[in-house]
Amino acid sequence: MIMAALVFYGFALNLAVPLQQQYGALPVLWRAQAFALLFTTPLGVYGLGESTFAWHSMFAMLGLGALGTALAYVLVADNAGRIGSTRASVTTYVIPVVSLVLGVVILDESVAALALVGCAVALLGAYLAGRSRH
C-alpha cells in the first residue's frame, strides 16, 4: 500500500505541472479534492455508525486540513507549475526534519542518533533534487 502511495504521489505531481500551468493551482486542487471526496465518502459512511462526534476533534481536523494539508498542496502545485515537478517535490524531503524539530520543541521528545542521520540524508536529498535542472 505504501509503495502504491509513493507511485501515485510521483504520478500526481508530474500530472500537476501541465494542469497547473493551464488552469492554475486552485482549480486543479479543487477538482482533485472533489474526486477524493467522491471516492472516500462511501468509506466514511460505512464507518459512521462506529464513531462519535467531538468538537475538539472537528476543530483539530479543520486546522490540520486547512493549514497543514490544503496550504501545503496549493504551494506544491503552484511550485510544480512554475519550477517543475522534480524541484517542487523537494518540499517532501523537509517533512521529516520539521517533524523532528517540532517533536523536540513542542513535545519534549528525545532524538535518536539515527533520526539525525535520517534528517541529514533527507536534507542532502532535498539539496540534490533542488539543484536538478530537469
The predicted structure's pLDDT at residue 1: 61
Give the C-alpha separation, 34 to 25, whole Å.
Answer: 14
The predicted structure's pLDDT at residue 112: 93
Cell of 52: 462519535
* 2-16, 58-72, 101-115: segment of lowest average pLDDT: 2-16
Say which residue the cell 505531481 belongs to. 13
The predicted structure's pLDDT at residue 134: 54
What's the pTM value of the predicted model, to 2 decimals?
0.61
Asked if 128 contacts 86 with a C-beta cutoff of 8 angstroms, the reply is no
Asked if 94 contacts 122 with a C-beta cutoff of 8 angstroms, the reply is yes
Give the C-alpha separation, 36 to 31, whole Å.
Answer: 9
Cell of 108: 519534549
Give residue-wise pLDDT tens across range 35-93. 888 998 998 898 888 888 899 999 998 888 887 788 888 888 888 888 888 888 887 78
| Ranges of each domain in the chain | 1-86, 89-134
